[in-house]
A = this chain, B = another copy of it.
Amino acid sequence: MDLRLTEEQRQIADSVGELLANASDSASMRRAAFDHGGFDAALWAQLGELGVCGINLPEAQGGLGLGVTELVLVAEEFGRRLACVPWLESAVLAGTAIASLGDDAVAARWLPPLASGERIVTLDIGLLECAPLAVRRSAAGWQLDGVLPAIPAAMAASSLLVPVQVDGERLLVIVALDATGMARRERANLDATRPIAEVRLTAVRVDESACLARGATVDRALDRSRQLAAVVLASEQVGVAQQCLDLTVAHLAQRVQFGKPLATFQALKHRCAQMMVDLELARSAVLGAARELDGGPDEGRRLRLTTMARSLADDAARYCTQEAIQLHGGVGFTWEYDPHLYFKRAQAARSWLGTPAEWRERFAHALLDEAAQ
């Protein structure tokens, strides 16, 4: 396996990195997070122009037709800047889910506006437990009722992908978030960089044409999308860890105590070194997983790779966000300094798309249990 990056891969990472370093610096990111409901529409438009909303989507549907490696390189920059855009939700999760249905007509209809960033699509990732939606057949299709308590990016998005169960069959439907009977309410969220809303459906009508897939295809596509997104999320966590390390090293270099910079104290240096160890190993894991996923490995291998990326990146984000607060000292737990934003984001990310422990248990089943052999 060759882990060298191509010139194009570096370029896409650098260009997104540079864009975000300016457009999503601490002040801009805080403005978007706290004053604009966690959505930076201007930034999203710029990303759309760069093609970043369709990195791994087919060129035929306006995507860039690139691979997982490009996704994770870009994701690291998003994590590093806590960019307030629904990229993971729309470009990665919804986009991959739709593309994985293997239905050209569906792809042709839904992917181009998604890949350009014009349309933001989100989906239910099951953050909080809830009752399934009630579905009734109606003349032109179905009628949906119920509450989805925690849908990411639902305020910024225009459409929502929902799997539903009708007469024992799985359907994947897409619903406009401003359709009659849809009500959205933004939830209070300690991780303000990744907004989440409650979506309430009251007698919402869904046409036959809004059904994108049926049967086993639905869960296969959703699983595929969640698994890919889990690796992408891991890369975001690496970005989170990296920014925490950079902030900390910079702080220690300038803060003087006992007559010398804190950066000269060996115990603090060792802690920074440990942060770098954790995050570089996680970065290696994410890059390795991405590269191998690009080759289309079998299901068992995908499970192992996803578990690797998710486990190592979670370890790194957990340690680095903790140490960033600690090593900043008193200012480390103030609102004004950034470490707490990363700390909250890292914690929130643990519950997304399967916790690291859940991935490990699934992998352990494959590795250890006779029945799984």
Contacts and interface: CB of A to CB of B under 8 A. Distances in A.
Interface of A: 265-267, 269-270
A258 to B, nearest CB: 11
Query: How many copies of this protein are present in the complex?
Result: 2
Secondary structure of the A side of the interface? Answer: helix
A160 B265 CA distance: 57
Contacts of A270: 267
A270 B265 CA distance: 11
A341 to B, nearest CB: 28
Nearest to A268: B266
A267 B265 CA distance: 8
A269 B266 CA distance: 10
Contacts of A269: 267
Nearest to A264: B266
A224 B1 CA distance: 58
Contacts of A265: 266
Nearest to A270: B267
A260 to B, nearest CB: 12
6 contacts: A265-B266, A266-B266, A266-B267, A267-B267, A267-B269, A267-B270
A360 to B, nearest CB: 17
A241 B230 CA distance: 41
A265 B265 CA distance: 9
A269 B265 CA distance: 12
A272 to B, nearest CB: 11
A265 B264 CA distance: 12
Closest 6 CB pairs of A and B: A266-B266, A266-B267, A267-B270, A267-B267, A265-B266, A267-B269
A269 to B, nearest CB: 7
A72 B203 CA distance: 69
A267 B270 CA distance: 7
A372 to B, nearest CB: 24
A267 B269 CA distance: 8
A265 B268 CA distance: 12
Contacts of A267: 266-267, 269-270
A122 to B, nearest CB: 36
